[in-house]
Amino acid sequence: MHYSHIFKALALTALLLLVAAPALAGPHDPPPDPVQDVGQSQTTMRTITRTSAVTAAHATLDAILTRHDDLHGFGGDATAEAGTIGASAGNSGMGIGVWASGGWQHMNKYSSQWSRGNMFTATAGMDKRIGDAVIGISAGGEWLRLDMSDSGRFHYDGFSLTPYFSYALLPTLVMDAAMGLGWQNNRQKTTYISGSDGLRHDMEEDYASWRLFTSAGLSKYWAFDNWTLSGRVGGMYLHQNSPSYTLRGSDGFPFSDDSTRISKNLYDLFQLSLGGRVGYRFGNFSPFVGATYIQDVAKSGRQEDFAGADFQAGFNYRVGNFSLGLTGTYGIRYAFNKIGGMLNLRLDF
């Protein structure tokens, strides 16, 4: 396949994302008046923290699961045949692979306290094949910028480390596991109307938080002529820990700690997922479509975003030991949706 075909596919996918993003981003109501008290800011920050934590964890795990798919035969390997997928894909002679992934997601929460903005992620990893097992580790960065309904803004910069593991129980049946630990530097900016003088005051504060997430799953792969199919059932546990902090007036206005204090936010979530992909090989080029159903089983706080789904479309391309993949995703939950893309590069030795 000529390289011009790859660039055309990349350009077409990017164009589709740009055209679809405004239509899929959800309602665009004008921002309401700024907060009258800290209660609304408490609710908004709880929602933002929890939603962004889950979105970031999924982005990291999606990058790793893409690597597992490539290792075990869903990455566009032209030599993959039914029953031999696991043997024909993955690392080369040394059994070592390196990879990098970059992603973007536009997030839109449109409940009574809405928030919308963009998350960018960058992840790189290295793994080693040992017999039927693969052991690896990834390091990633994440950057979030959100506008909030209280005329405020929230952003953070984060870093995470995620060891991962997969094992081929059969040539086409693979179990996987991962555990990640992340740290975030956060800043909240909002507007507060003082009860004492009735004036608007700009408020802000910086604080640190951390996140733990674990994941495990079982994937099955099939190949029929040029068709490649995969299915995965999995589970994820997430714990997000954000400390209490006090919003402070950037204009020097004196506030009491009680009136502008955001309480500690501890969030625990256990989630199950069931998904599948269908691809077709044109030589080394493999377009695919997929969908994943996501179900929250147990979690802290208000029971919203209980179930949802992610829909994917993209392609993989392999030339020798080099692989390239691009995936576009649209996700929908209760009063929340996201649209984005992820680019993956992989090299085996």
Mean pLDDT by 10 residues, the chain (349 residues): 48 45 41 44 78 92 87 53 42 81 92 82 94 93 87 88 94 94 91 66 86 96 90 96 81 56 87 95 91 92 77 92 93 90 93
- Supply φ then ψ for residue 339, to 5 degrees: -140, 140
Q: Are 54 and 269 in contact (CB under 8 A)?
A: yes
List the CATH number of the domain containing 316: 2.40.128.130
* Chain segment 115-172, per-residue pLDDT in tens: 889 999 999 999 998 988 999 999 999 999 998 876 678 899 999 999 999 999 998 8
Q: Where are the beta strands (DSSP E) in the chain?
A: 96-109, 115-130, 133-148, 153-170, 173-193, 200-224, 227-242, 245-246, 248-249, 261-262, 265-280, 285-299, 307-319, 322-333, 336-348
Q: What is the pLDDT of residue 248?
A: 76
Residue matched to tokens 């992820």: 342
Count the domains in the chain.
1
Q: What's the whole-model pTM score?
A: 0.81
The conformation of residue 113, written as its DSSP 8-state character, comes to S
* Chain segment 290-322, per-residue pLDDT in tens: 999 999 998 887 656 688 999 999 999 988 889
Instruction: Tell me which residue range forms the domain holding 150.
Output: 3-348
